[in-house]
Chains A and B, each alone.
Chain A
Amino acid sequence: MNKFLLEVKNLVTSFSIRGGLLAREIGRVHAVNDVTFSIKKGETLGLVGESGCGKTTLGRTILRLIEPSSGSIIFDGKDITSISREEMRAYRRKMQIIFQDPYASLNPRMTVANILSEPLIVHQLFTGKEERKKRLLDLLDYVRLPKDALNKYPHEFSGGQRQRISIARALAVGPEFIICDEPVSALDVSVQAQVVNLLMDLQKDLGLTYLFIAHDLKVVEYISRRVAVMYLGKVVEIACAAELYGSCRHPYTRALFSAIPNPDPTIKKERILLEGDIPSPINPPSGCYFHPRCFNASEQCSKLYPPVTLESQTHEYSCFHPVPPSC
């Protein structure tokens, strides 16, 4: 049996930039650029990075909601990179996604019962009337919503409750793997904690595997066993959560951590302030993509993209001049 549920190898997703008279292709932007990682069954991989670094595109490419340009996606031992749409549909039953914005991802004109039945209709599951009703009630129970929610519309719920409906919808078809695309970013702190706990409970009860995408490092660290850090379409560092937070090596990861405001006014830590903005992925810098903002950059960095360095069994990074491993 394969111990990895999902393996992503050298995945590239690029979009064409069109312009000129006949909307010809005038360039390509590599939103996901040569990304390799794997996720074990029952594990949570966190994916962090700033806006525009390609986290969401990566998530959607894995589900083939966006077609990859090259590389391979292996789900449960089977290469799904180029299987037909029909075959892919069967895999969609096993792979689901929860979106960031619970206001935009639920159809306002459908009742909760309709929203939750739709995936069951598509995949022809629980077809009997009684059977389906029971499934819907089970789903509500999973996400701790009351039974009378079934006949309500999304606008009757708060943000946190809507996110619970989204989770229930993703669970409807009994998936093994769920991509959580910033599921708590739009929620208030106290509600955020409730949803994070719910996701962790469901993982334990149903044996789910998560790819947890977020820009909030604290939430990611909390929920994930391993964390990957992305910058401009590339994974720059990947490690066990504890290892990454305790002893990150990539200067970008270090800067990212030091930028988080610490909810303790007594700690005045030394902050690494990064200069400038994230460059455009249309025209990435030469060599290491991070070198124009990096405090450790040398001449070499502007010429070559650094190869992957193995720090340990579970920790790899791409940098010529890593920072010392003490945070």
Chain B
Amino acid sequence: MQQPSLPQSTEDRILQVKGLQVKFSTEHGPVTAVQGVDFSVYRGKTIGIVGESGSGKSVSALAIMRLIPNPPGQVTAGEILYHGKDLLKASNQEMKAIRGNKISMIFQEPMTSLNPVFTIGNQIQEVLSLHQREFSKKDKIEKSIEMLKLVGIPSPEKRILDYPHQLSGGMRQRVMIAMALSCRPEILIADEPTTALDVTIQAQILELMKKLQQEFKMGIIMITHDLGVVAETCDQVAVMYCGRIVESSPVREIFANPIHPYTKGLLESIPSYDSTTGQDKNRLPTIEGMVPSLHNLPPGCNFQDRCAYAKDVCFGGQGGPPLVVNELDPRRKVACFYPLPYKEVAKS
């Protein structure tokens, strides 16, 4: 059998996160929100980070931007290598030059992330004034009109004078994307970019992001809890649970053959609308119980209480299972003592 080759060359790697650990101090003692997270972002590719609320996906993204509020949060270990340079060691000055310029971010709530008292034109121009010092006022206005046109906002010359409340949710998210892309970043971090939007608008925004990615050759980090969004947009997926990556794989493989029991559970609990629609419906398969509190993680594997396959070592005191590369397919990694059987996924 031929070994499947690694999909991307290291030249295209823009960002590499290695062993990231983030801790927060809380009233009830310190918690580890992110533990030993590794992933890479490649030019023109999208990596999806999926997980339920509190799994550490947003914290990982904020850590890349060095936006973890300190106190209470602190990156306690790991490296974030941007073209080989560790961002965790960069000065604030250097970070300013990267943030918004080389690495941009869009957030879930387009209403609260735009400033209500400035026009949208003003807000796009602010980004340009910070990073494109050589631009004259006229250049900036032209550039902001060009950006709004790019994200598909009709009559942008008029729209730059609008305030955020005059726009709908989908339009606001387009403005956020225009702002984030105005400096042509190499990496776009999208933190639940469509969660607050209706499905028809979500489809528009995802389509727009795909189009712009091809145009700019950006690497995208797509943070979401919606596996449908992952399937549509991502090339690579990392599934997070209680601050750790439990499975990481190319997108086709993870959907066709999840190896971690949690991934399998997540996939099964989505009601599928094209399944049998007889009157006597079966119950939805669920993952029993709930995500444990980060204050009170069990010894051994974090997923043990909810896992149908857990036995002896899973409950043991020697820590959780490490994320290991699958022998048969080096593109796939799983953190499980008893992973589900590996099946080769046919190429299309």
Contacts and interface: CB of A to CB of B under 8 A. Distances in A.
Interface of A: 50-51, 158-161, 188-194, 196-197, 200, 215, 217-219, 221-222, 225, 241-242, 245-246, 255-266, 271, 273-274, 277-278
A110 B288 CA distance: 28
Contact of B271 (A215, A222, A273, A278): A222
Contacts of A197: 283-284, 286
B252 interface: yes
Contacts of B281: 200, 222
Interface in B280-328: 281, 283-288, 290-291
A261 B226 CA distance: 9
A222 B252 CA distance: 25
A189 B265 CA distance: 10
30 contacts: A51-B169, A189-B52, A189-B227, A190-B269, A190-B286, A191-B52, A193-B271, A193-B285, A197-B286, A215-B199, A218-B270, A218-B272, A221-B271, A245-B274, A245-B277, A246-B277, A257-B273, A259-B199, A259-B202, A260-B273, A261-B202, A261-B203, A261-B229, A262-B231, A263-B267, A263-B272, A264-B255, A265-B252, A266-B252, A266-B256
Contact of B200 (A160, A193, A259): A259
Interface in B189-229: 198-204, 206-207, 225-229
A222 B232 CA distance: 22
Contacts of B266: 189-190
Given A242-B277, A242-B278, A266-B256, A189 B269 contact: yes
A193 to B, nearest CB: 4
B111 interface: no
B168 A241 contact: no
Given A51-B198, A219-B271, A245-B277, 15 more contacts: A188-B291, A189-B52, A190-B265, A190-B287, A193-B286, A197-B284, A217-B273, A218-B270, A218-B273, A261-B206, A261-B226, A261-B229, A261-B231, A262-B228, A262-B231
A200 B228 contact: no
B27 to A, nearest CB: 14
Contact of A200 (B198, B207, B283, B291): B283
Contact of A222 (B204, B206, B256, B284): B284
Contact of B273 (A188, A196, A245, A274): A245
Nearest to A189: B269
B232 A262 contact: yes
Contacts of B171: 277
Contacts of A194: 286, 288
B271 to A, nearest CB: 4
A259 B290 CA distance: 30
Contacts of A192: 269
Interface in B25-58: 52-53
Interface of B: 52-53, 168-171, 198-204, 206-207, 225-232, 251-252, 255-256, 265-267, 269-274, 277-279, 281, 283-288, 290-291, 348
A260 B228 contact: yes
B162 to A, nearest CB: 14
A300 B287 CA distance: 51
A189 B204 contact: no
A266 B348 contact: yes
B281 to A, nearest CB: 7
B342 to A, nearest CB: 18
A241 B277 contact: yes
Nearest to B171: A277
Contacts of B168: 277-278
A277 B279 CA distance: 35
Contacts of B199: 50, 215, 217, 256, 259-260
Contacts of B255: 263-266
A135 to B, nearest CB: 26
A176 B230 CA distance: 40
A190 B277 contact: no
A255 B200 contact: yes
B259 to A, nearest CB: 16
Nearest to A191: B290
A261 B171 CA distance: 20
Nearest to B229: A261
A4 B232 CA distance: 42
A261 B228 contact: yes
A222 B278 CA distance: 10
A217 B271 CA distance: 9
Contacts of B207: 271, 273
B279 A225 contact: yes
Contacts of A242: 277-278
A274 B252 contact: no
Given A189-B227, A190-B287, A197-B283, A50 B252 contact: no
Given A222-B271, A263-B270, A273 B203 contact: yes
B277 A193 contact: no
Nearest to B170: A277
A282 to B, nearest CB: 14
Contacts of B226: 261
Given A50-B198, A222-B271, A271 B203 contact: yes
A259 B203 contact: yes
Q: 5 smallest A-B Cβ distances: which pairs?
A: A261-B228, A242-B277, A222-B271, A193-B269, A50-B198
A255 B171 CA distance: 19
A187 to B, nearest CB: 9
Contact of A196 (B265, B271, B272): B271
B120 to A, nearest CB: 16
A277 B266 CA distance: 32
Contacts of A260: 199, 228, 273
Contact of B231 (A218, A255, A259, A264): A264
A161 B348 CA distance: 43
A192 to B, nearest CB: 7
Contact of B52 (A188, A215, A257): A188
Contacts of A266: 252, 255-256, 348
